[in-house]
Amino acid sequence: MVVGDIGDGKGGGGGGGVAAGPEGGGRVRGEPLVCYCEGHCPDDAYNGTCTARPGSQCFSAVEEVYNSETRKFEPERTYGCLPPEEQGLMQCKGYLVPHQVGKSIECCSSSNLCNKSLKPMYQPRSTVPPPPSYMLEEAIPYIVLISVTVVFFIVFLVIIACFYFRFKKREEEGRQSYLMNDHSNAYSVKSNNHLTDVIDASSGSGSGLLLLVKRTIAKQIQMEKLVGKGRYGEVWLANWKGENVAVKVFVTTEEASWFRETEIYRSVLMRHENILAFIAADIKGTGMWTQMLLITEYHELGSLHDYLKTTAVDPSALLTLAFSAASGLSHLHTEIFGTQGKQAIAHRDIKSKNILVKRNRECAIADFGLAVRYKSETNEIDIAANTRVGTRRYMAPEVLDESIDTKLFDAFKSADMYSMGLVFWEMCRRCATTRGSDKWNMQAEDYALPYHDVVPSDPSFEDMYEVVCIRKLRPVIPPRWNENEVLRTLSNLMQECWHQNPAARLTSLRVKKSLCKLKGDTGIKII
C-alpha cells in the first residue's frame, strides 16, 4: 500500500518544491490535488478527474458486486477523491473493511492521478453472503407467492379440521340425546347389577327411564342369534353384561320409526308391566355403514303370534293374555295429569306380532314406530313424519276408506280397539275347552290370522277394503265359544271392539274393567 504525505510547505527542501508521483510527474506544493475518477466522478460522469478538497486524498477501491446474469459476485473497481471527513474512519487499509458489501480501499496524495495505479487487494469470498437488497427485490414475488400458498393451505386444513370436529360433536350429541341418560330421570348402572335390577329401577316419578353408562352401550353388546326379521329390520338375541337382551336393528330407511319409538319410550310414566321394558337406544357404525339399535328386555316365548301357533291355552290362561293386553293398551291410551304427567298415546299398529308373551304368560305391547301422542294442553296430536302405515289386515274400516278424522285423537284410539278385537279373536281360537261332560275331550281351532278365509296371505288395500268396508265382513265366531263363559264374554267384547261405527266401539279401559269383573265372577286368578 502506498500512502503519500500531504504537502503543507513544511517538508524537507522548503516551499515551492515538486513531489514526484508514481506517474513520473509531480505537482507544486499548495496546489489542489487532482485525482483520477471512475464510478465516483462529479456530476455522475463516467470517468475523468476530480479535484480533492484541501486535506483530502485520492483513493482506489474494489468491492464485490452481484451479477444477476451470472448469479455470481464479481469485483468492481472505482476511483475518486476521498472526502477529508472519511479519512478518520481508517478506511485506507488495503483490505476488506466492514461495509454492508465487502470493500478494500487504498489512498494516496503524493502526486496528481496517483490513485490510477493503485490496485487494492481483493480476495473472493469463501462463503456465499446474504443476497443484497436487489436480489431480495427480485425474489419478493416468489416469496409472496409461496407465503400465500402456505397460508392458504394452512387455512384449508383448519377449515377441514373444524368441519370434522363439528361433525363428530354433532354425532356425539345425537348419540347422547338418543341414549336414555337424562339426569332428571336416570340411574347409574353398576357393572355388577343384574338386568332385572336395572329394569326395575324407578326415578320416583314413575317414568323408569334409565341412565346408561356414558360410553355407548352398542360397544358393550354381543349379538348372539337372529330371532326375527321384518320390514323394519331384524331382532337379535344379544348379551349385555351377562344378561339376555333383545336388540332391534333398524334398516337405514326406517330411521323415522326408530326415532319415534325412542321418543315414545322416553315419555314420562311410560313404564308398565304390560309394555315392553325399554333399556336404551343407540347408533352404531362407521363411515361405511350405520345401524340404529333399540335395546329392550328379551322374552324367549316370542310374539303372541308365534306363541299361539304352537300353544293351546285353557280359559284361565286366555283370560290372563286378554286382560294383560287390554291393561297395556289402556295404559297407553290414558293420559296421566300432574307435574310430570303422561301424554295419551295411540299405538296405530296393534297386531299379534307386536305383542310379546312374557315368562309369566302375560302380554307386553311392543313396536311404537307408528305411535302418536296427544297434547291436551294445546289440543295437538303429535304425528311423526313416517312413511310407514299400519298392517293392512288389522286396519279399521275408517282407515281403509280414509274417512278417519286425523285431527281427533279419539279416532286413533278407536282404530286401536278395532285391531285389539281381532287379536282377541286370535286368542280365543287357541283356547281349548271340553265338549260336554268329557273333560278329556278338549277342542281348539287351529291358529289363523283374521280374515284368513276371505283374503290372500298378503292382502292389498283393495282386498281389505272390499271385505271390511264394502261387504262389512268380520271373523267367524264358532258356536262352541258360547259354551264357555270366558270365551262367550270375550266374543261379545271383540264384536263391540270391531263395530263398523268407531264411536260405538268399547274403550280400552272399559274392556279392562269388563275382564277384571269376569275374573271375579269366575273366580279365575289372573297372574
The beta strands (E) that lie in 230-362 are given as 233-240, 243-250, 278-285, 290-297, 344-346, 355-357
Rg (CA), the chain: 52
349 catalytic? Reply is yes
For residues 55 and 319, what is the distance between their CA atoms, to the nearest angstrom? Answer: 134
Number of H helices and number of E strands within the chain?
A: 10, 20
User: 231 burial class (0-12, 13-18, 19+ CB within 10 angstroms)?
Assistant: exposed
- Number of Cβ within a 10 Å radius of residue 285: 13
The beta strands (E) that lie in 83-155 are given as 96-97, 103-108
CB burial string 376-391: b at 16+ within 10 A, e below: eeeeebbebebebebb
Q: How far is CA 321 from CA 327, 356, 379, in A?
A: 10, 10, 34
Q: Give the dihedral sign, CA 359/360/361/362.
A: negative
For residues 525 and 496, what is the distance between their CA atoms, to the nearest angstrom? Answer: 25
Choose the catalytic residue: 5, 200, 349, 463. Answer: 349
- Number of Cβ within a 10 Å radius of residue 514: 19
Residue 248 marked ligand-binding: yes
Q: Which residue has the cell 361433525?
A: 167
DSSP reduced 3-state for 294: strand
Sheet holding 372-375, edge to edge: 344-346, 372-375, 380-383
- Annotated binding residues for ATP, as ranges? 248
- Annotated binding residues, as ranges? 248
* Residues marked as catalytic: 349
